[in-house]
Structures are given as structure tokens and as C-alpha cells.
Amino acid sequence: MRFVDTTGIFSRRVRWCRCRDKHGHPVRHDLQLLDACIYPATSDRPTPAFTFNVPDEFTIDALECKTATLTFVAKLCQLTNCVFPSSMLDMYPALMRCLRQYRNLKNFIHAGFAHDSNCARTPGDLGLFCVTCPQIGKNISAAKLLASENLEEYTPQIVADGNFKLDDLKMRNPEDNDVDSTGIGACACAHHGCFYPHSVVGFKVGERQVNMDYTISEVFC
């Protein structure tokens, strides 16, 4: 079986555990790999498998170094066989699939749906808002809010504004000019500058108040 780490690509023989789960069935191979901090390519065919260090390092490389996935794969091939890197296994499709799944699972964990992903049904459930502003049920309880003598400490302040100064550069396809936007508007936290989910709108003809009304309505949804 092939394993991929940040230090290269390796082939190892695997002896699967024969223990059974609570239902009396053998533990699936992909679950055994996940328990060992190794992400399988697919559930039925787990090879190649990637250690958790691979998606974590790629996330940093893509954020800070603007590294493409194909370039990251080429780097791993060079680390494994610097003489004939093209002879290595083509793991680009498997890595792309694992990165999308891994990123989605991370979003569930950050949003608080790690143990029940079916709860994230409505749009914006995975969006992270300002962690400092008081939010009932997340970082402050309703009982503590009602018992407070100074409610101004827990009062959120919202600011609504628009931007009409984006540079309109020369278009490659001028026939698509009808989809151009004249600006954007949004609502944000006045203290920390965090945008409210679903509060960013585009303007077509000047600053229309109906668009800003929509952003404000999304803030209180």
C-alpha cells in the first residue's frame, strides 16, 4: 500500500486489524487508517493514503507561498525520487479529492458540527462570525445576559457601508461588460470589523437603498 507524507511517497505492507465493532462487523479499513491519523483516498480503495501532515502543510503552502496542488505533488515526487520524479505514482486526483474532503471536515469542526454534520442544513451554518461579540448560545448564555446590570457591554454595534472605488481595468472580453458591478455593500461589526454572514451585496446602478436593506435584514436573520 502507498502512503504519502510530507517527506515523500512510501510503499509499505499493511496488516489490517481483525477486531470487530459494536455491531459485530469487522472494522473497515478506511476507519482504521483514520484512527491512525492517515486519510484514505476512498472508502473502498484506501490507497494511496495521506497522513494528516500532508493537507495541513499544503494549506500553509497554498496560503503563504501560493503553491498549486500540482506543484505540491511535484515537490513530493522530487523528495521521493529526485532522479526520475516522473516515474512516481500520479496521486494528483486522489490528493485533490482528499483535500476537498479534509477541508470540509475542518469546516464542520470549526463551526461546531463535528459530531453531527446533519445539523448544518441552512446556508451560513458553517460561517464563522466574530468570536468576541456576544452571541447567545455560543459565547454567552441568556441567563447571564439578563442578569447583567450593564447591558451596554453586551450590545453589538453594526456598521453598514459601501465601496465604489474599485478600479475597472480593461476587460479581456468587452462583450461581458453587462455583468460588471459598480460597487459592493456590506454590514460588519463596528468593534472588530468582522463581516456578517450573507451581508455582502453588489450594486448595479449606484447605491440602491434596497440592497442595503437586504444586508441589514440578513444581519437580524
Is the pLDDT score of 177 beyond 70? no
pLDDT of residue 169: 64
Q: With CA atoms as reference, report the closest residue to 91 among 59, 62, 51, 49.
A: 49
pLDDT, tens digit, for every residue of 39-73?
998 888 888 899 999 999 999 999 999 999 999 99
Q: How many CB atoms lie under 10 A from the CB of residue 133?
A: 19
Contact yes or no for 163/183 (Cβ under 8 A): yes
The residue ranges of every structural domain in the chain are: 2-119, 157-219
Q: Which residues contact 161 (CB under 8 A, 6 or more apart)?
A: 185, 186, 188
Out of 11-20, 161-170, 195-204, which region has the weakest mean confidence (pLDDT)? 161-170
Q: Which residue has the higher pLDDT, 56 or 153?
A: 56
Q: How far, in Å, CA of 214 to CA of 182, rounded?
A: 17
Residues 131-146, mean pLDDT to the nearest whole number? 81
pTM here? 0.64
Can you tell me the distance from the alpha carbon of 188 to that of 26, in angstroms, rounded to the nearest whole number?
A: 51
pLDDT band at 112; cut points 50, 70, 90: confident
Residue whose C-alpha is closest to residue 214's, from 195, 193, 198: 198
**Is the previous residue joined to 156 through a cis bond, with omega within 30 degrees of 0?**
no
What are the Cα distances from residue 114, in Å, to 30, 120, 127, 201? 18, 10, 14, 30
Lowest mean pLDDT among 24-28, 65-69, 165-169, 201-205: 165-169
Pairing of strands 2-5, 8-11: antiparallel
CA distance 221 to 193: 19
Residue 206 pLDDT > 80: no
Task: With a cut of 70, say whether residue 179 has pLDDT above it.
Answer: no
